[in-house]
Each structure stands twice: as structure tokens, then as C-alpha cells.
Amino acid sequence: MTSILMVCLGNICRSPLAEGILTSMVDPTQVYVDSAGTGGYHVGDAPDPRSIAIAKKNGIDISNQVCRKFTAEDFNRFDTIYVMDSSNYTNVVKLANSEADRAKVKLLLSEIEGKNLEVPDPYYGGDDGFKNVYNLIHQACSKLILKF
Ligand code: 4NP
């Protein structure tokens, strides 16, 4: 069993989409996917309605996800921790206890042609931002599943 954690700041916009998209592409008996946020502002909340909408438009239901905060314990539970941007990277790596922990943390878009790009935070923007985020995450997940 491979276990993958998707991490962003709020765990209501980007990482719930990443969890939903990757889950839709894998065999759940082989790959476990979860998501979390480095900030605690929305713990217990459902994903942002705009993320729910763009996922639904693409045939993916993320409405039952519940926001939780990333913890150091996640390093023990997951093989790879994909972060959306460099500030997520900094916040996650701060909680690492070893070089092995740090090595688990990667920018999700590094899976696209080795590019070290960021998934932009769509929270304060419009619906186009969510469409862009969906497409970027979809591209990266299509690449990363080739590794399983
Ligand atoms: P996310 O977006 O990190 O993609 O979930 C955000 C959601 C909420 C906030 C920031 C980013 N916020 O500041 O509440």
C-alpha cells in the first residue's frame, strides 16, 4: 500500500482537489490518499464551494471531505507528502524530525516535466483560478500515477 498526503495552507481549496483527483485515478486497495492544511483556520469544514463545484463539473465528488491540520505524525503515516507551494514546503519541513522525513516532501508540480512550479492559491480570486488549479493538479496526478 502506497500512502500519499496532499498539503496546502487551508485544506479547503487546493489539497482537497488534489485528494479527489488522485483518488479518482488510483485503485483504493493499492493507494491511500488524504489531504491536510498547514494552517488551522478551517479545521472541521467542508472544502470551499468553488473547489466542490469544479470537481463536480469533472465528475469527482469531494463534498464529504473534512478539513484537518497537518501534524508531525503525518511523516510516519505517509510515503510521500505533496505540497502545493513553497510556503507549504517550508511549513511542512519545519515539523520534520529527520532527513528521511524531509525527503518525503515534494512540490506536486515537480511531477510535471520536472518543473518546480507552484499551484497558486485560488482562495481570494475568481472561478478561473479554480479551473487553473484543477488543470494543474490533474496534469501532475496523471504523471505521478505512472510511478505506481
Ligand atoms: P488552500 O486555500 O490553501 O488552497 O486551501 C486557502 C484557503 C483558506 C485560506 C488561505 C488559503 N485562508 O486564509 O483562510
User: CA 23 to CA 142: how far, in whole Å?
Assistant: 11
The one catalytic residue among 13, 14, 50, 85: 14
User: CA 41 to CA 60: how far, in whole Å?
Assistant: 25
Instruction: Count other Cβ atoms within 10 Å, centred on residue 134.
Output: 23
Q: Would you say the CB of residue 41 lies under 6 angstroms from ligand 1?
A: yes
User: CA 64 to CA 134: how far, in whole Å?
Assistant: 18
SS3 (DSSP) at 57: helix
Q: Which residues of the chain have pLDDT under 70?
A: none
Question: What pTM was computed for the model?
Answer: 0.97
Quick one: cell of 88? 507549504
**Domains of the chain, earliest start first:** 2-147 (3.40.50.2300)
121 is catalytic: yes
48-87 pLDDT per residue, tens: 999 999 999 999 999 999 999 999 999 999 999 999 999 9
